[in-house]
Amino acid sequence: MAKPPLSMKPTGWFQVAWSDEIGVGDVHTMKYFGEDMVSWRAESGALTVMNAYCEHLGAHLGYGGKVVGDVLQCPFHGWQWSQQGRNVCIPYQERPNRGRRISTYPVVERNDSVYIWHDVERREPYFDAPDVFAAFGDDSSADDYYPQQRLYRESLELHPQYVLENGVDFAHFKYVHNTPIVPKFTRHDFGQPVSFVDFTITFQGDDGQQIEDVNSGVEAINGGLGIAVTKSWGMVDNRTISAITPVDESTSDVRFMVYIGRTPHRDQARAAAKAQEFGREVIRQFEQDVEIWRHQRYSDPPALATEEYQGFTAIRQWAKQFYPDGIGGSAAEVYAAAQKG
């Protein structure tokens, strides 16, 4: 294990909870990016994520704070704060303090998840959090799938970039996931903050087959460093979301979600049980990766095999745009090291 040398304060969308963890009237306490935060759901259903401390005398709003209609009331002196973090009521004074504001985060709820936009420079979101259905433009929706199955691992010593690098790492599939042959990448598109990786892969058959003959694969979309969604084709219909969120300077929370496609079947109960089982298998494979990542030391510049240069150089160069300090393993260094062999 080693503290990642990459910034733990990257810009982008990051998952901080699941929607069903925060019901109407709930105040939920959490810590991400080294900041204490609260999320709370107003009577209207609107969800707010804000810094945890009251701007009056600094009470933590997560311990005794109360949702009153559409505002959050501090447990200490009853000051009320709006969904924009504005002070809207001081109960023992006619006027609120209009100048004071608790910082809030842009929030979206998507695919049963709560995502916040984190940016140390406080810029507005400049790309979208990917939707595991809509992002693939194939008219699919949650109705076509069984309910989401989840994995949650708290405070692991790993960095979000490790997880994304998995997406260009063709060689690990055979060793970590026991695929019979090495997958082949058919698309690497790192031109925008939302990037695309497609590959052909099979979990069937033996090592005598040729990857060119395989008729199954995965399409992946990375929405920045925090959220990646995948869609499979030519195998059991599944979609996944991996969401890695830095907690502090050395650890991240890992969330992984799987959807298995519904199929017309005479025996619905049996089909649902099969889907459960398959979902668990997909989660098990992701956990195999987690075991590597959580003990990994970031290698920069890495020793790469010839065929690995292109993918790793592209993803590391792409990742740099999300780091406030620009540290992310320079592509030039990666390339130079690769040339030296």
**Contacting positions for ligand FES (CB under 6 A):** 54, 56-59, 74, 76-77, 79
Q: Which is nearer to ligand FES, 79 or 185 (CB)?
A: 79
Alpha-carbon span 144 to 261, nearest angstrom: 6
Q: State the number of CA atoms in the 13 A half-sphere of 318 facing the CB.
A: 24
Q: Which is nearer to ligand FES, 92 or 207 (CB)?
A: 92
Residue 133 CB, nearest approach to ligand FES (Å): 41
Residue 45 CB, nearest approach to ligand FES (Å): 25
Q: Which is nearer to Fe ion, 9 or 184 (CB)?
A: 184
* Whole-number Cα distances in Å, 32 to 27, 97, 328: 16, 28, 20
- Angle between helical axes of 309-320 and 331-340 (0-180°, round to 10): 160
DSSP label of 129? P
Q: Which is nearer to ligand FES, 77 or 284 (CB)?
A: 77
Q: Which is nearer to Fe ion, 111 or 166 (CB)?
A: 166
Residue 84 CB, nearest approach to ligand FES (Å): 17
Q: Which is nearer to ligand FES, 103 or 204 (CB)?
A: 103
Residue 171 CB, nearest approach to Fe ion (Å): 11
Q: Considering CB distances under 5 to 8 angstroms, the limit depending on partner class, which of ligand FES, Fe ion, none binds residue 111?
A: none
Q: Considering CB distances under 5 to 8 angstroms, the limit depending on partner class, which of Fe ion, ligand FES, none binds residue 7?
A: none
Can you tell me which residue has the tokens 């995948």?
230
Query: Can you tell me whether residue 249 is helix, strand or coil?
Result: coil
Q: Considering CB distances under 5 to 8 angstroms, the limit depending on partner class, which of ligand FES, Fe ion, none binds residue 76?
A: ligand FES
Residue 43 CB, nearest approach to ligand FES (Å): 21
List, in order, residues 6 or more apart from 164 with CB less than 8 Å away: 222, 225, 228, 315, 319
Bridging pattern class, strands 184-189 and 149-156: unpaired
Alpha-carbon span 185 to 201, nearest angstrom: 9
Can you tell me which residue has the tokens 């990742």?
319
The H-or-E segment that residue 8 falls in is: none
Q: Considering CB distances under 5 to 8 angstroms, the limit depending on partner class, which of Fe ion, ligand FES, none binds residue 46?
A: none
Residue 96 CB, nearest approach to ligand FES (Å): 11
Q: Considering CB distances under 5 to 8 angstroms, the limit depending on partner class, which of Fe ion, ligand FES, none binds residue 54?
A: ligand FES
Q: Which is nearer to ligand FES, 80 or 252 (CB)?
A: 80
| Helix, strand, coil share (%) of the chain residues, nearest 5 | 25, 30, 45
* Whole-number Cα distances in Å, 123 to 12, 24, 308: 10, 29, 34
Residue nearest to Fe ion (CB): 289
Residue 248 CB, nearest approach to ligand FES (Å): 25
Q: Considering CB distances under 5 to 8 angstroms, the limit depending on partner class, which of ligand FES, Fe ion, none binds residue 289?
A: Fe ion
Residues within the interface to Fe ion (CB under 5 A): 166, 289
